[in-house]
Structure 1
């Protein structure tokens, strides 16, 4: 494959005694899709900044191919125009022009830059996350040889992450991406670079293959009991037992992996943890009864409409939904930080709640790291083990050499890690996490998951990180915009499937609206008798679709209730599949009747 850019013996130190990168030599070829991993502050962003030509190294050489078409999007990238349209498209391009170009149309429909404000919205007043989506869209609409991205999933919801992965896989552009999103990394990457101690280790394959390589190194270096406790082996075990893992390894290496994890226990004993949680929490944790939640807008928007939701001892719940669906508002309501607009909230008397919000303002900037942790407590029990403040801080990426660093000098990722340590030192029995993966590196996420594996308490998580949600949660609920808190027995796969169906229905309705405006009566062409017959057929189909929608909701409720009855589950699942098939045929018939 043609080589696009090379780094030869590159080094950079930023004036410190220890170089961030030291003698790094590597290259990117046409068709490469490289995922970059490593600890926060380890040099990932520095590496891709040098690769993209935004930063000059202290020594060494960067050699891009002549005429290289490259775009890079960093966490500091800003829109370049006055409106969303001009920023994404490079000018005030009319709708009929960009919509006729497949790539631009796909990017604008997939990323929704500007959100509900549309392409003509002013850049002024947009949030940082919205600006990041606009900068990402502006890069993706271009015809490129190489795309360099730094944490592109940070401001995307679950659907947005899936769309971005599928989009990148479908185009031929080479890719170098820094990301902590392990599902995304494993889906898009064909190679992995690990930045560690100033060097870059290179691996074939994505996250699964990288974890295997780390586990294999641990197997060769450690004794048997140390290997059992190795986090990489535990992570690999979960990967192999969970959804079908993607791996490029030959069969003999897969068999070696199976042997390596043969004696690794399951991540957690759910029954034992729930029993322990009941002893600590009693029967009542948090209950929302006949609850209504609205957000002030024009017109007012209802997030939850007269719903009853009970969170019990030992529950591990993930909340998913598109950006703006109300996930954070619901979590704040569970925490008691936001009043219900209707209904009643009940909290158990033994509940000790901790809420990890996206706000870092609660950190004491005048203190040092260890002092900030010991201000909460000097020791803590988690998962049946005692941890000192210093040991827990070290586990979350603060070695002894960093524990006396002033909090004010920490990076955003380090502050997020410190916030987590302080939260865990309060010994909560109910833990609410709002986008906990933001600014956390892969190693820190593994440490967090390992701690939560044996944590006997109730956990509610809002996250766009599909891997994290599937890894630490036993149950998933969704906000679809219909005022309900919907249980999803099939997890995130079911959520994405139902969102696809929802999008198809909205598509059908938009086609109907267009047809109605095109001709009197809602169907184009033909005699008045033909149009009348077509209208009757459309109405018949719509009534049937409404009945199927109602029955679908009933089936999902029945599936949740029948979770311990395999025979009943099989019957309900068969009925649901038949229902979905019938509705798909009806929607096709409706479309034909509308446009004939």
Structure 2
């Protein structure tokens, strides 16, 4: 039985409906990634699921007795008490009170928190763990997560991924973290121009199919527009005679005009352009034997590095480790307590602040970026501030809105607009990817890769680091170290270093292993396969081959751009068939492994 059913649901505020006649079914134990541009309606859909909002039309039906819980994007204000007090707040009304203590103890063990710790004393990552524990203590049937990786360090993100991968109930989450999406999502829902598209596939498959669907839509729209233009030329020439055929053609033209007026065109990409200042000197900054501490807490100890023109450096570490402090020391904004930092010549810095402290909430977008001027100079040419902001997807109406009314993604785009309005040869980005939609994030990555100046970025977005940086400075338990390459390169090099450390011990054990090689290994008592199991094992390869062939045929069919021009029910049926075959194939492979291991 479906856990959640949306039936012809519509909701809107000012302007076009955010969700316009959408229908969808969520089944138990599904892991769904919810995608869409900033402002598309993702948070609205979540509020509908939690009951905070009601639809204008249509129905949202939860199965009898189903519970929904949410992990909010930001830590709510006014949350006080010990960790166990916070978790108890999630205990459902109507359940036996005596069960709560056992449930709280079990959840505390799962999330690795101390019951008596005050919530206010926790780091941001640990606060999110406590709020997650509050959300899951009542074992909800559907868990909603809104940007769960925001402001978490990489260790906290990987912990969250591991925890959620074992979660036995349904998940629906919104995230900008593509690595998180790849790890967890087995189904993609996308909100696009008021419609809810069910892609029934993982994230990488979605990217391929989405590109094909957009290409097909663009071609279809171009053909429609060409035909409409031809009909408009015909009507302007005047109708020669009142024939039934001509009257029908006029009615068809009216219908085409209505259809064109109701079309919601695809939202464009932000047109990011980095203004490069005159080249800096070859050396940007050089740190030698630098140390810095806050009281007894050491941030840097005898740290040395050279930053050369064109370097793109990522800085990684736990929350509170001192990454922002390191940036300030390297840029000469904070004097080291030991050692020396030497700045290069002709260095012009543009800074992106993760806390958005550069924005005045009471000013409009236009006032924040223009700073008293109606124009900006871009590439040596003067451009009106409203035209410039349209490159960052702010309409003139939105540009005149106070910042306090904007979403997190829109605030980040304002910071990028301010950042790129100033010529620079060194760009410093402190958590730039939070809240950005995938399209804007990809555009930012492209521009940073093309940038010929120097980049320093603090980020916990693993894919962003892999795509952009050429070296990584990491806060590790043994101190701050520098590695060549991005996040995956750091993991590989760290693993190799661990392997080298174990080499000596392995060498000592070589003699003992050589002696033991001549001894026969003891035979383990293994159960043998029964007659029916032997027959099943023989039949599995043919079954697997058949399923793979069926899945390949379905994927070929869905890869055709014409596939998405069919009736919605036909599309949903074929997508469900592909998902069912894939589940059968996974089960067959798992069974084959079990039987092969026993044979």
TM-score, normalised via structure 2 length: 0.66
Answer yes or no: is 1:284 the counterpart of 2:280: no
Does the 8 Å CA contact 1:44/1:178 hold for their aligned counterparts? Answer: yes
In the TM superposition, 1:538-553 aligns within 5 A as none
Question: Offset of 1:585 from its aligned partner?
Answer: 10
Q: Which moved more, 1:73-82 or 1:396-405?
A: 73-82
Q: Distance in 1 between matches of 2:105 and 2:370?
A: 60
1:302 maps to which of 293, 298, 309: 298
Does the 8 Å CA contact 1:291/1:343 hold for their aligned counterparts? Answer: yes
Q: Distance in 2 between matches of 1:104 and 1:583?
A: 37
Does the 8 Å CA contact 1:365/1:408 hold for their aligned counterparts? Answer: yes
Aligned twin of 1:243: none
2:482 maps to which of 478, 487, 502: 487
Does the 8 Å CA contact 1:452/1:472 hold for their aligned counterparts? Answer: yes
Question: Offset of 1:584 from its aligned partner?
Answer: 8.4
Q: Distance in 2 between matches of 1:467 and 1:386?
A: 36
Aligned twin of 1:411: 407
Answer yes or no: is 1:7 the counterpart of 2:6: yes
Q: Distance in 2 between matches of 1:446 and 1:390?
A: 24
Structure 1 unpaired stretches of 5+:
227-272, 502-551, 557-575, 588-596
Q: Distance in 1 between matches of 2:45 and 2:63?
A: 18
Flag the 1:355–1:585 CA change in 2: closer, same or farther, 3 A.
Answer: farther
Question: Offset of 1:33 from its aligned partner?
Answer: 0.9
Aligned twin of 2:448: 452
Question: Offset of 1:99 from its aligned partner?
Answer: 10
Q: Distance in 1 between matches of 2:400 and 2:210?
A: 30
SS in 2 for 1:180: coil
Flag the 1:418–1:295 CA change in 2: closer, same or farther, 3 A.
Answer: same
SS in 2 for 1:155: coil
Aligned twin of 1:546: none
Q: Which moved more, 1:405-414 or 1:328-337?
A: 405-414
Answer yes or no: is 1:148 the counterpart of 2:144: yes
Does the 8 Å CA contact 2:19/2:41 hold for their aligned counterparts? Answer: yes
Structure 2 unpaired stretches of 5+:
92-96, 223-273, 510-599
Flag the 1:577–1:409 CA change in 2: closer, same or farther, 3 A.
Answer: closer
In the TM superposition, 1:510-589 aligns within 5 A as 577=499, 579-580=501-502
In the TM superposition, 1:236-385 aligns within 5 A as 280-296=279-295, 300-365=296-361, 367-375=363-371, 378-381=376-379
Q: Distance in 2 between matches of 1:323 and 1:180?
A: 19
Matched positions, count = 445
Larger Cα Rg: Structure 1 or Structure 2? Answer: 2
Does the 8 Å CA contact 2:470/2:485 hold for their aligned counterparts? Answer: no
Q: Distance in 2 between matches of 1:26 and 1:129?
A: 33
In the TM superposition, 1:20-31 aligns within 5 A as 20-31=18-29
In the TM superposition, 1:77-96 aligns within 5 A as 78=76, 82-88=81-87
Question: Offset of 1:586 from its aligned partner?
Answer: 9.5
Q: Distance in 2 between matches of 1:386 and 1:286?
A: 33
Does the 8 Å CA contact 2:459/2:465 hold for their aligned counterparts? Answer: yes
Q: Distance in 2 between matches of 1:53 and 1:581?
A: 58
Deviations 1:389-427 (A, max 9, x none): 556533433234423334343333322210111011112
Q: Distance in 2 between matches of 1:219 and 1:388?
A: 33
1:120 maps to which of 109, 116, 121: 116
CA RMSD of aligned residues (A): 3.6
Flag the 1:25–1:220 CA change in 2: closer, same or farther, 3 A.
Answer: closer
Q: Distance in 2 between matches of 1:403 and 1:278?
A: 27
Answer yes or no: is 1:18 the counterpart of 2:34: no
Question: Offset of 1:171 from its aligned partner?
Answer: 2.8
Does the 8 Å CA contact 1:278/1:314 hold for their aligned counterparts? Answer: no
Aligned twin of 1:160: 156
Q: Distance in 2 between matches of 1:423 and 1:104?
A: 43
Flag the 1:462–1:75 CA change in 2: closer, same or farther, 3 A.
Answer: same
